[in-house]
Amino acid sequence: MTKTVISTSEAPQAIGPYSQAVSFGDFVFCSGQVALDPATGELVGDGVGEQARRCMENLRAVLAAAGTNLDRIVKTTIFLTDMNDFVEVNEAYGSFFSSDPPARATVAVVGLPKGARVEIECLAAL
């Protein structure tokens, strides 16, 4: 099996020493996405729901570059700076899965890059 780095201009470029995603075997491991606009690199949206939707759009772009899609996600992790945002993020996140959502964990964190309120990472099948 070969490790392959996945990169696309359709999602924000990494803001540190990491790849947007790495595929290995039958899986792609996506780095966490915050609500950065891929064109500007700036954080979008004041509302946490809007930020969660941008995170998912960014993940969709990375997965497409890897040759897979949101329906093939098997596990996600959501990082929130405020657990009071759980319901709003849940609604935005859930809109990307019409049926059979992936396994998931949601954790509270002290802070996220660029002052984001939410970050989402995933593991998907190829």
Amino acid at 26: D
Q: What predicted TM-score, i.e. pTM, was given to this entire model?
A: 0.96
- pLDDT for 73 beyond 90: yes
pLDDT band at 10 (very low <50, low <70, confident <90, very high): very high
**In the structure, what pLDDT confidence band is assigned to residue 107 with cuts at 50, 70 and 90?**
very high
Q: Supply the pLDDT for residue 1.
A: 85
Average pLDDT for the chain: 96
DSSP 31-59: EEE-SB-TTT--B--SSHHHHHHHHHHHH
Q: What is the pLDDT of residue 119?
A: 98
Confidence of residue 45 (pLDDT cuts 50, 70, 90): confident
Report the pLDDT value the prediction gives residue 102, as an integer from 0 to 100. Answer: 98
Q: What Å distances lie between residue 106 and 17, 37, 75, 77, CA to CA?
A: 24, 23, 11, 6
Beta bridge partners of 3: 24
Q: What percent of the chain has pLDDT over 90?
A: 94
d(CA 72, CA 38): 23
pLDDT at 34 over 90: yes
pLDDT mean over 30-48: 95
Cβ(31)–Cβ(14) below 8 Å: yes
